[in-house]
Structure 1
Amino acid sequence: MAPRRASGDLAPASSSIQDDVLISTDFQPRLRRGTSVSTTDSPFSFTSLAPPSARVVQEAQKLELVLQDKVVAGGSATRDLFAGHAAHVRNDPIEFSKQLSLWASGTGWRSYTEYIGGRIMYEGYSLKQIKAITESPQVTAKIRQLSEERLEALHLPPEVDRQEKLASLERQLREVVLEVADGLVAKMDSVRFLRFFGASVNNILVRMYDQGIHISLPEYAAFREVAVEAAKRKQSLLILPCHKSHIDYLTMSWLFFRCGLSLPHIVAGANLNMPILGSWLQKCGAFFIRRSFGDDALYPVVVKEYIEQLVEQGMNIECFIEGGRSRTGKLLPPKLGILKYVVEALQNGRTDDVWIAPVSVQYDKVIETESYVNELLGNPKEKETLTGLLLNTRVIQLQLGRIDVRFKKPYSLKEWLNKQTDRREIKLSTSTNPPLDRRTEQAKLLRALGYQVLADINSAAVIMPAGLVGAVMLTIRGRGVGKQELVERVGWLRSTIEARGGRVADFAGMDLESVVDRALVVLKDLIGEHKGLIEPTYYPANRFELSFYRNQVIHLFVSESMLCAALYTHVKAGGAAPSQRMPTKDVLAELHFLSRLLQHEFVYGTEGLEANAAATIAQLERDEVILIEGDLLGLSPKERASGRNNYDFYCFLLWPFIETYWLAAVSLFALTPLEAPPNSTDNVAWFAEKEFHKSAQLLGKNAHFQGDISYLEAINQATLANAFQRIVDLGVIITRRSSPSAGKSIPIMALHPKWVPERLPNGQIAPHGRLWDFLSHLGAFRREGKNRRDSATVSTRMFRHCSAIAPPIVEWGPFTATEALSDFWKTKPQL
């Protein structure tokens, strides 16, 4: 059946897409300018959005019919989709009642009978999907395979009818498939229920976010243009938003409803499939997938078939690219499971194409940040659900500012894959390395696509006032900041973001001080005020939670932060200006170290270390932050005279992450065995991974409150987990599961034998060796301060505390892992 379309459809979209990216294992990929992201280790270079074309502006003006709002001409027009909505019956009972009657009668866009995309919301829709899954060739083949395997495992005597038994096993498995499919498929059968749910969500969101949901009309026009063309071709939009809050589910569904687009089938975690609310969400497009498939052989095949079936039918699919909600405020590494299914559906011919649609969703205030802090600090996790949020009257009465949704123009997955494949083949043909197998190549393509989407989300995102104020509050020296200086620094930050191609939320001509005041109201629980002084003075009352908003800015300044942190290895020594300068080659070597170590934290550009560093140096020189004298780099006289405000800003952004990785490295000394191995073969001491991670966080808390770590936000589970994973990738730690003979099999870890520190005759850890050298190099980037002299701190207090947290040895075993990687912190980059 042809997809249904709303009035005012736009002209067909162009099939061209943005320049793509080639993932490379090389540290400095030599790619042409215009590429946007890779997973290599070069410092990040922000790519700004191109200005909207005249055609897109014209199309935005046509949206007056769809959005029922007057469109302001120009490329930066934004509109509040909640404008005029009454949030409380007591404030305007007549208008509130009128709006409820519009929802009840399905007036205008609320009827949801005309929309762009695959047909949904009709009786029998979900049964049709379930039937298609159970009768699909790949599910049927899997049932036959499993039945035959189980039949063989029964070792039946000859007199038993094998065909009858096989048929019985197949019937049993079909019942299992039917049950799984029934629980999986979105129950989008009733437009009447959708209108009821839409009215409820509308009232909840408009009460929580009193400043509304804002979109960019030119961006939405470009997005809708592609959606119309995809609907004509019966092709799916794969909508990939970032994920900061449970409210994302409601925001995106409400937005599609409001804008006349076919509601997406939303991939959701099984934790949201709770009584009542789970059923409601399922009726509005959600389908719940387990986080782990375990040993269930049927479940992943059913999920795969459902995804491929949706793609084949041209249904829109929404999947949060990060998998779970970001607890830190910045984007998480991409999760690739759903992307894998969609790419395979395209490659297997289930569809002609799929359109990748990255979306940025930003909030003035994320309601869950307090619970995020408790979780990241390792406190017992409270059960937190969307139901709890929606039924919390305190929450829905709050005035949390506004939501900003921005769209990157969707691009063809088929063209992206074709360009990637062509470029990979060219690269491999000129390489002396042995050819990689198809599975490895597929994994690289998926990873490149995942990071491409993250870069697209970053480039589409706007920085909210809370992000500006949060970043300034956590990047100043001293206990607090006066009102005038706060406004000035926010103004500097806004100008700097815009100069680098980034975007700040548009507040319709509101003066800067009013924007700051508004952010201070939203962040009133996180920023305190000292009154009765010469001027109002503000201080971070909750640094950890405030860091969530600071981290929304950091992706714009990763290059500058890394370069300034590299210079800090000399600046921290003090003395005359000439003694604090560094040769350019040494700066590049330090950037090589930092960017490679922190590659799980940030999305980097693709132009290579040397090119990115040159661009960053030139930018900082233009900003008069640094001075170039021949082959030497140092702080400019103007920056020194101004108190290093701008230079410190860049360092303060990165220092908490450096602290986390430093803590992870220090904690590894606790894995130094106190006892000798039982024999020469079983010479590796294995420890419980989960327990060790808890001990490392305890070590960090102790170090923070004793002054050895500057930032409490550095001691969070999410970044520590990234740090330990990166150390595993580098071969410093080896991991596996424990032997069955040791009881229940659990994840265990050990230091690579070549990294195990020596113990002195008195039992103390020796401050030398491979791990010590690595730690010392990393410590050079840390912020210096009282009680934080790295060598003395580690070899005394920190080593003593490492001994205190040393976990018990789970088992001794032989070393069977691969050779550890080279000492990369000593390796100079090949430029």
Structure 2
Amino acid sequence: MSWMRRTLLSVFHYPVKWLVKPHTTPSDVETELNIDRHKPIIYLLPSNSVTDQLALRMASKKLGLPCPTNEVSLAGHDYPNCLFLRKTQPVIARGGKIKTNIEEVFTDLFHLHRDNPDTDVQIVPVFISWGRAPGKGKPGLSDLIADVATPSWLRKLFIVLFLGRDNFISLSKAVSSRDMAAQHGSDELIAHKLVRLASTHFQRKRQSLTGPTLLERQELHNAVLGSESVKKAIGEAGQSKKRTPEKARQDALDYINEIAADYREGLIRVGDRLLGRIWNKIYNGISVHHSERIRDLARNGHEIIYVPCHRSHMDYLLLTYVIYHEGMVTPHIAAGINLNFWPVGKIFRRGGAFFLRRSFAGNKLYTAVFREYLELLFNKGYSVKYYPEGGRSRTGRLIPPKTGMLAMTMQALLKGVNRPVSIVPVYIGYENVMEVKSYLNELKGSSKKKESNWQVFSAIRKLKNYGYGYVNFGEPIQLNQYLEKQIPDWRETLPDDPEKKPNWLTPMVNELANEVMLRINKSAAINGMALTSLCLLSSKNKTMSQRELVQSLDACLTLLRAQPYSSDFSVPDDSAEDMMKHTLSLNRFEVSNDGYGKLISPQKDNAVFLTYYRNNILHLFALPGIIMSAVFTHKVCRRDYILRLVAALYPLLQRELFIHMTQDEALSYTDRLITQLLAQGLVQQKGECLLPPEANDAAFHPAWLLSRCMQETFQRYLVVLTIIEKERVISRGQLERASRQVAERLSTLYGLSSPEFYDKNVLSSFITALRENHWLDSTSDGSLKYSEESDALRQDVMLLVWPEIVQHLENVELH
């Protein structure tokens, strides 16, 4: 390193330290990037910048990586720790050469490998961005100062002053110099290839961080109004008596302005700072898993569509915040038109939200405009986020998906999208959801309150300790591959009219929507609030001693760690005792002392709120719940009986709870669970029979709780099956109404605290599952008919339900 370079690094060390705050991705360089901290590293940067090198030095120190301002010694030769693709531009450009001698250095390095084959260096590409502003069609004043890939020192001065707190350092997977040297070709050719690949890689990194060039408003109008589908819809609308062609075109223009986002990177930066303060105030932290998946997709040039579950209005902010801090461009977000009120609507729109109406039915012009806008986003390379459930879950369970947005996505793919398109399911979880009280009121019959400024201010005023937030990125679905697998000959079956849907599209989209929901739940996150709620609600009086609660939490955590629900779900590393302490610190539970020890219960009248959090993870305990319920019900039962019972009930549970396993996988998982339950002492074995633990055994209480966690589900199943058994033949509408009335009565009589116990959507989903799995017959007029298969299922379920509930259902008289 020259004396001039050393001097500059020394001079600018403290100014950069004071002005710059680097954000580094990823944080786990060893696992995600295969970087070995004990092997020599050479960093490869796009441009030769002192401030870039100093920012990287700050980041590398935090990550425990070698200092980029030092040198590395290889076989007696000294090489700089940093290499650069391009030189810094002069203040007054003279059209001179801006390439560095990097190819000569790499050539020399590869030549060194010929004489020293054991030498190996990790070449780590590092992209450094100051700010995340996308390019603009019309440059502004700020672009004259900052928008240059290799700015002069004068421009870099302004960049550091204004964007030093928005410095992003993105490291990539290490490239082995030994592997590169072993490739065919001369050292010069290999070095040239490496530099060319690095240049392409940095271009993709820039796009994944900043996104594509912003759409100017006029360009947007021309693109949408000039599309064939919109012109056709305008023509058809203009032929009606109510609209002239000019009025129809103006309506289309108004629809564009109503729908389209108006993305402003400056607002995102301000939002990042504001949200950082909010998260620190209301959350103890945000747990993120599998974010490497979205970075891999971006690196490979994929169009990314995020499809998260929808728990809260916080989802809009939390997921965008996480994506931003994982080094990805923030997506355009599909938001309900109910959120487009002043001034929140304008803020959301500038944050990337585009608005859609709840229903497009009958408005062909609006449908055409919206679909064309969505296709334009895909083709321009914008990442997009929409919620497959359509609205927020009021019960904590996943809602059966709405398929409209997915159908439009697939239609865009059929018409041709320039890049591969991948859907990324996302599980979002909270230890506290601020809207949970209003959700339960709505489930009890009150009308949904319209969003307003007062609601926003009220929510901000109530901000308090909400524990942890959880974001798990699920296994992506590569749509091009999915389409090829589902419909191999899809190209030959496309209709001549590109606006007409092929016959196979709707059933295929339905399958895709279901797969999305399965992968969301496959990525579930266990947390203390959800697990404590499950334990307390399973206890007889919703009250447990501290010792019993810790034992039960430990048993559940041990079970899931030993036999994971999936490779994508997450369990905290906390001990059961630490989890309980943290959960109690959220001040959502009553802690009392009766002289024998601490008792833990829900706060007064708050037990019903816990059902929301339990339902977030109930699908993880469905199979353990069946096993333990069968063992406690029969006192003595065989393993093959439990497997037969699971085979009968699993298709119904899978449909209701979106469990990702196939029938065979579920049976195999059940068998492993039984083995683990035996190992933990939650189940005893005598010969070939399985028994519950003795009442004086420490494992008895956790085992008993697991046997009760699915009780309300079994009771709901028995309600529906008993009504059909009494009527023998009944219409679907009558069955749903009667089931809801009886379930609501049971809830009142026996103090059941789950509003979804009589929720019409949950009951409807179960009835659909009964029909699809042929547990019910159909008559010629479409009514449902009781059968021998129905009776066999009812007998199995009846044995699992508490006797007092069975007796009440046997005696209930239907109206």
Are residue 593 (structure 1) and residue 615 (structure 2) matched?
A: no
CA displacement at 1:593 relative to structure 2:
3.1
Which AA in structure 1 matches 2:798? A
Cα distance between partner residues in 1 of 2:637 and 2:224: 66
CA displacement at 1:594 relative to structure 2:
1.6
Contact 1:241 1:319 in 2 (8 A): yes
> Where does residue 103 of structure 2 map in the other structure?
none
CA displacement at 1:265 relative to structure 2:
0.9
TM-score scaled by length of structure 1: 0.66
Q: What's the secondary structure of 1:601's corresponding residue?
A: helix
Cα distance between partner residues in 2 of 1:659 and 1:440: 40
Contact 2:288 2:471 in 1 (8 A): yes
> Where does residue 598 of structure 2 map in the other structure?
536
Please show how residues 749-828 of structure 1 align to structure 2 within 5 Å.
Answer: 752=783, 754=785, 773=791, 776-777=794-795, 779-785=797-803, 787-788=804-805, 790=806, 792-796=807-811, 798-799=812-813, 802-803=814-815
Cα distance between partner residues in 2 of 1:367 and 1:519: 16
Q: What's the secondary structure of 2:657's corresponding residue?
A: coil
CA displacement at 1:55 relative to structure 2:
2.4
1:246 to 295, 313, 320: 313
Which AA in structure 2 matches 1:707? Y
Percent identity between the aligned chains?
21
Q: What's the secondary structure of 2:266's corresponding residue?
A: helix
State the structure with more CA Rg. 2
CA-to-aligned-CA distance 1:324-375 (integer Å, 9 cap, x gap): 2222223333332222222222222233311222222222211111222222
CA displacement at 1:486 relative to structure 2:
1.4
Please show how residues 444-463 of structure 1 align to structure 2 within 5 Å.
Answer: 444-463=507-526
CA displacement at 1:487 relative to structure 2:
1.7
Please show how residues 82-481 of structure 1 align to structure 2 within 5 Å.
Answer: 106-109=163-166, 116-117=207-208, 125-147=216-238, 150=240, 169-188=244-263, 190-209=264-283, 211-216=284-289, 219-230=290-301, 235-376=302-443, 378-383=444-449, 385=451, 387-392=453-458, 395-408=461-474, 410=476, 412-421=478-487, 441-477=504-540, 479-481=542-544
> Where does residue 633 of structure 2 map in the other structure?
572
Which AA in structure 2 matches 1:270? I
Cα distance between partner residues in 1 of 2:674 and 2:561: 15
Cα distance between partner residues in 2 of 1:452 and 1:121: 29
Contact 2:608 2:753 in 1 (8 A): no
Cα distance between partner residues in 2 of 1:391 and 1:104: 34
CA displacement at 1:389 relative to structure 2:
5.0
Contact 1:143 1:173 in 2 (8 A): yes
Which AA in structure 1 matches 2:266? R
Cα distance between partner residues in 2 of 1:628 and 1:384: 57
CA displacement at 1:546 relative to structure 2:
0.8
Please show how residues 353-752 of structure 1 align to structure 2 within 5 Å.
Answer: 353-376=420-443, 378-383=444-449, 385=451, 387-392=453-458, 395-408=461-474, 410=476, 412-421=478-487, 441-477=504-540, 479-501=542-564, 504=570, 506=572, 512-522=576-586, 524-525=587-588, 527-541=589-603, 542-565=606-629, 567=630, 571-572=632-633, 580-582=636-638, 584=640, 586-609=641-664, 612-624=666-678, 625-626=682-683, 633-635=689-691, 641=697, 644-666=700-722, 696-707=739-750, 714-726=757-769, 752=783
Q: What's the secondary structure of 1:133's corresponding residue?
A: helix
1:55 to 17, 34, 44: 34
Cα distance between partner residues in 2 of 1:54 and 1:203: 30
Contact 2:732 2:784 in 1 (8 A): no
Cα distance between partner residues in 2 of 1:518 and 1:581: 38
* Change in 2 beyond 3 A, CA 1:67/1:138: farther
Contact 1:467 1:553 in 2 (8 A): yes
Q: What's the secondary structure of 1:298's corresponding residue?
A: helix
Contact 2:756 2:762 in 1 (8 A): no
Cα distance between partner residues in 2 of 1:416 and 1:66: 43
CA-to-aligned-CA distance 1:573-620 (integer Å, 9 cap, x gap): 6xxx5xx32572x544433432233343123445434x5324412431
* Change in 2 beyond 3 A, CA 1:536/1:593: same
Contact 1:239 1:357 in 2 (8 A): yes
Cα distance between partner residues in 2 of 1:772 and 1:214: 44
> Where does residue 107 of structure 2 map in the other structure?
none
* Change in 2 beyond 3 A, CA 1:331/1:704: closer
Which AA in structure 2 matches 1:572? T
* Change in 2 beyond 3 A, CA 1:127/1:467: farther
CA displacement at 1:400 relative to structure 2:
1.0
CA displacement at 1:392 relative to structure 2:
1.7
Cα distance between partner residues in 2 of 1:727 and 1:66: 62
| Aligned positions, number | 634
CA-to-aligned-CA distance 1:496-546 (integer Å, 9 cap, x gap): 222223555546xx6542331221222x33x32232422111124433211
Contact 1:471 1:550 in 2 (8 A): yes
Which AA in structure 2 matches 1:559? L
Cα distance between partner residues in 1 of 2:724 and 2:35: 55
Q: What's the Cα RMSD here? A: 4.5
CA displacement at 1:197 relative to structure 2:
4.0
Which AA in structure 1 matches 2:508? L
Q: What's the secondary structure of 1:356's corresponding residue?
A: strand
Cα distance between partner residues in 1 of 2:160 and 2:518: 38
Task: Answer 1 or 2: higher relative contact order, Cα 8 Å, separation at least 6.
Answer: 1
Cα distance between partner residues in 2 of 1:698 and 1:121: 54
* Change in 2 beyond 3 A, CA 1:713/1:321: closer
Q: What's the secondary structure of 2:262's corresponding residue?
A: coil
Q: What's the secondary structure of 2:655's corresponding residue?
A: coil
* Change in 2 beyond 3 A, CA 1:515/1:344: same
Which AA in structure 2 matches 1:543? A
CA displacement at 1:109 relative to structure 2:
1.9
Which AA in structure 1 matches 2:481? E
Cα distance between partner residues in 2 of 1:605 and 1:412: 18
* Change in 2 beyond 3 A, CA 1:660/1:794: closer
